Amino acid sequence: MSQHMRDDLFREALGEDVQPLTKGRDKADVTRGPARPSEAQLARRAQAQAADEENNFLSDEFVDLVGPADPVEYRRDGIQIGVVDRLRHGGYAPEASLHLQKKPIPECRRELFRFIREAREHDLRCVLIVHGRSQAIDGHANVVRSYLGKWLAQFEEVQAYVSAHKSHGGLGATYVMLRKSERARARNRERQQKRRG
């Protein structure tokens, strides 16, 4: 088949609506910034934030501060110590992370609530929360870390959490192990049944 015939077939496949790019239009326009959200988008965003806040059960009351050099650790009853040990040593790869460094406490509370809910919806098991580290007990990063420990224990889906391995931020980050969702359990049962034949 000749090049001319291939070109004709190609044009025919594209249809008559397709026009070649004009010279100079083959690059992205970087002079314009992102479009500003419309009034309707802003209203929907505000409504979603209000709904999140209404459902947010995380306490914003006083919290006992954790020592700045003390690792954090929590495990729900029934969770094996071996799971926590593996989590502590980075044995579970974080599937998502949330960065809370230098953010105000109310914003950290909102973002953590949304993040854990979304992680659960997407059947994630291990996530990483980066909060930073401060030398003073009342330093902002340590206050966030202290609240984080209180908040994470309030989620039924949180099975355990520990200070991260050095490779993921050490005392400036926390691994969180989430309970397997019913969907994920059903998928595991199906896989096991297929293996057994």
Distance (Å, whole) CA 29 – CA 32: 7
What are the pLDDT digits (tens) for 78-127? 999 999 999 999 999 999 999 999 999 999 999 999 999 999 999 999 99
User: Are the C-beta atoms of residues 74 and 152 closer than 8 Å to each other?
Assistant: yes
pLDDT over 80 (residue 153): yes
- Residue 138 contacts by C-beta under 8 Å, 6 or more apart in sequence? 65
The pTM of this model reads: 0.69
**Residue 8 domain-assigned?**
no
User: Are the C-beta atoms of residues 163 and 71 closer than 8 Å to each other?
Assistant: yes
What are the pLDDT digits (tens) for 174-197? 999 999 877 777 777 777 778 776
Question: What is the spatial order of strands in the sheet that 158-163 belongs to?
Answer: 73-75, 158-163, 173-178, 126-130, 96-99
pLDDT over 80 (residue 133): yes
User: Are the C-beta atoms of residues 159 and 127 closer than 8 Å to each other?
Assistant: no
**Domain span holding position 100:** 73-185
Tokens of 162: 């520990």
Residue bearing the bigger pLDDT, 191 or 164:
164
**Residue 14 domain-assigned?**
no
pLDDT at 186: 75
| Coil vs helix vs strand at 174 | strand
pLDDT over 80 (residue 47): no
pLDDT at 53: 66
Structural domain count of the chain: 1
Read off the CATH number of the domain in which 87 is found: 3.30.1370.110
Tokens of 24: 């100079």
β-bridge pairing 73-75 and 96-99: unpaired
**Residue 13 domain-assigned?**
no
**Residue 9 domain-assigned?**
no
